[in-house]
Amino acid sequence: MGPNGLPLPVPPREQLTMAECLRLLASVQVGRIVYTMRALPAVDLVYFAVDGGDIVIRTDPDSALAAATHHTVVGFQADEVDAATGRGWSVMAVGRSRPQPSVPGGQDHFIRLTPGIVNGRRLAR
């Protein structure tokens, strides 16, 4: 908010290329997965990695997240913003998710999101 209590002007936004979006996603470890649970939108904070253009999220195979994202369309968003300078970026991806079990007998379970839509913006005040 500005000094008079009104919102500050919208900062300029630079549209990012797909390659830049994936590079930026690979530079952070935490993002948000958006999915549907009981016909309502749900968002979970998750650790992730980028693998060959896919977003890979580790989860418990018996979790509600694993069940709700089994072969469905999900959203994903990650960002990095410096509150002091107003500079940063945000990347959003939408695509089909699929389970990816770990090695046989392993306890890990992964959700692999193959993005069909990737949109990113760089913010500058």
pLDDT, one tens digit per residue, over 13-59 is: 789 999 999 999 999 999 999 999 999 999 999 999 999 999 999 98
- CATH code reported for the domain at 13-123: 2.30.110.10
Q: What does DSSP say about strands 54-59 and 109-123: parallel, antiparallel, or unpaired?
A: antiparallel
Q: What is the pLDDT of residues 72-118, one digit of tens each?
A: 999 999 999 998 988 999 999 999 999 987 666 666 789 999 999 99
pLDDT at 87: 92
Q: Report domain extents, the chain.
A: 13-123
How far is residue 19's CA from residue 25's CA, in Å, rounded to a whole number? 10
| Per-residue model confidence (pLDDT) at position 103 | 62
Q: Tell the burial category of 35 from Cβ atoms under 10 Å away from its Cβ (0-12, 13-18, 19+).
A: buried
